[in-house]
Structure 1
Amino acid sequence: MKFLLRLVVVFILLSFILKIFGCTNMGQRIDPTVTNWFEDKKWDKRLLIFNDVGDNVELQLELLNSLPEELEDRDILLVQLTREGSVSNTAKLKAPPMSGSRKRFGIPESEYQMVLVGKDGRVKRRYNALVQPEEIFACIDSMPMRIREMQGLSEKPDDSVGLVDSKLLFDFSDENDIHPWFLLLDGVMGGKSTGNLSAQDGVLTFSGQTSLENNGGFSSIQSTVPRSAMEQMDSFKIKLKGDGRKWILAARKFDTPTADDYWASFETSGHWEEVVIPVSTMRRRVYGFRMFGSIKPEEIKGISFYMYDKNAGPFELQLKSLWSLKNKN
């Protein structure tokens, strides 16, 4: 009994330490200033981002600012990358550091480029020369999300799942939605499980083999999610094809992976299917052990898919898309 009590105390202390420091050595390096600023605009604004090089900047801004109603109608925010990071078609909002913004969107440092970023946070077009606003507006008006806006519709999945609103978080036919995902295996704890992440034909495939050697037995893929991903939402919807084994979707309150997250398990049939997981069903785990605590949708900063069914053997999970949802109830 004393041993169990000591074990619980150790886990609680570890959980507290991880909450303060996170496991930054287990995940990606993230520039929080840049990431947070742009994630705050996601699903709310489309961005036209300029680097401050050459004469085209002022000419392009003049053309665009001459059509304020068109910009407002399409929720376009103009961001000029200067040392101050000014925003030109609103009150002077302070944007994140220039170098981090360039790196995030792959904008060259020494030559002019304007980048169109959609409400989903992905780059849609790059312009290396002066362009007429009508060409930009036509590009935006052809986007599925913009078409739904003009029709007065919100982002909705099919009615078969009984949902009234949604946000597309990851579409794995888009290369930009593949890059944030990375492997985290039980090797960090001395285990022997393997994992591989690949993408082809619009499908992200996570495969490998779990091993129970050295008290291991898990493999996972991890990603951050936009800060606005779960605002007014309460569930996840995943279009996937599993291998017949039981899988886990985990959510966390930190940008980087920790051993303190919230799990919900789901069965897979071996066929393509849609799985809906309410956040309210996710239960806290620390190093796989059940702990007290819950997570609110708006607290979610990262998600993971785990193979951790305490069985050794091959696994494979194929993913097409991931949504956040709001249920009718």
Structure 2
Amino acid sequence: MVTLSSTLIEQPDLYRFNQLQTNQFMIVNDGVMGGKSKSELIINNTSATFSGVVSTENNGGFASVRILWPFNAEDSEGKQLLSIKVNGDGHQYQLRLRTNNSFDGAAYRHTFDTLKGQDTVVTVPLEAFKATFRGRELSDQPALEFGNVKQMGILIAEKQTGPFIIKLNELSLH
């Protein structure tokens, strides 16, 4: 079960996205396959803002940012819930976790909705993440463990064309 609320659960391992450095993230848009979507990540005193424009021109239609996993394996072991506090725009996004540092390959995905202009905490159980590759679910991947995660990402797709903006505030494990 996934829950939405306006507060984080008490005492989690907590990461604030305003701590990000420019060498800790990478923008990956549909330009890798000829698309025209554009995006950027801007870090300020309180959050990291991922914004841009999604275009389906040239068979495109997605924008994403990948971020180095901020928790070490020791601190992630045994955790069963992930919470992310965002301020959204009413679009649907994917939270994507990768267990390797390669550019391509499987990702564990969870889709969530945002509320326009409102802080929302999305709490996701470990087992709710589904292994995928280029949008297709995979059945041959091992179960996800937060201790094995190397990268996390935020992706907007599913033909949601036009401007988007989502502020990433905090990430926590419980």
Q: TM-score, normalised by structure 2?
A: 0.84
1:14-64: CA deviation from partner (whole Å, max 9, x where unpaired): xxxxxxxxxxxxxxxxxxxxxxxxxxxxxxxxxxxxxxxxxxxxxxxxxxx
| Structure with the larger helix share | 1
Q: Which amino acid aligns with 2:133?
A: V
Residue in structure 2 matching 1:167, options 1, 9, 13? 13
Q: Which residue of 1 aligns with 2:55?
A: 211
Q: C-alpha separation between the residues in 1 aligned to 2:103 and 2:67? A: 8
Q: C-alpha separation between the residues in 2 aligned to 1:222 and 1:257? A: 10
Q: Which residue of 2 aligns with 1:289?
A: 136
Larger-gyration structure (1/2):
1
Residue in structure 2 matching 1:265, options 111, 117, 124? 111
Question: Aligned with 1:280: secondary structure?
Answer: helix
What percent of counterpart residues are identical? 27
Q: C-alpha separation between the residues in 2 aligned to 1:309 and 1:201? A: 31
Contact 1:218 1:307 in 2 (8 A): yes
Deviation at 1:210, TM superposition (A): 0.7
Deviation at 1:244, TM superposition (A): 0.2
Contact 2:93 2:154 in 1 (8 A): yes
Q: Which residue of 1 aligns with 2:124?
A: 277
Contact 1:166 1:233 in 2 (8 A): no
Residue in structure 2 matching 1:233, options 79, 91, 98? 79
Question: Aligned with 2:76: secondary structure?
Answer: coil
| Structure with the larger strand share | 2
| Count of residues in correspondence between the two structures | 162
Deviation at 1:241, TM superposition (A): 0.4
Higher RCO (Cα < 8 Å, 6 or more apart): 2
Contact 2:49 2:166 in 1 (8 A): yes
1:198 and 2:42 matched: yes
Contact 2:77 2:145 in 1 (8 A): no
Q: TM-score, normalised by structure 1?
A: 0.46
Q: C-alpha separation between the residues in 1 aligned to 2:113 and 2:125? A: 15
* Runs of at least 5 residues in structure 2 that lack an aligned partner in the other structure: 1-6
Q: Which residue of 1 aligns with 2:25?
A: 181
Deviation at 1:287, TM superposition (A): 1.2
Deviation at 1:200, TM superposition (A): 2.2
1:159-194: CA deviation from partner (whole Å, max 9, x where unpaired): x66x565212x31343xx243122111111221111
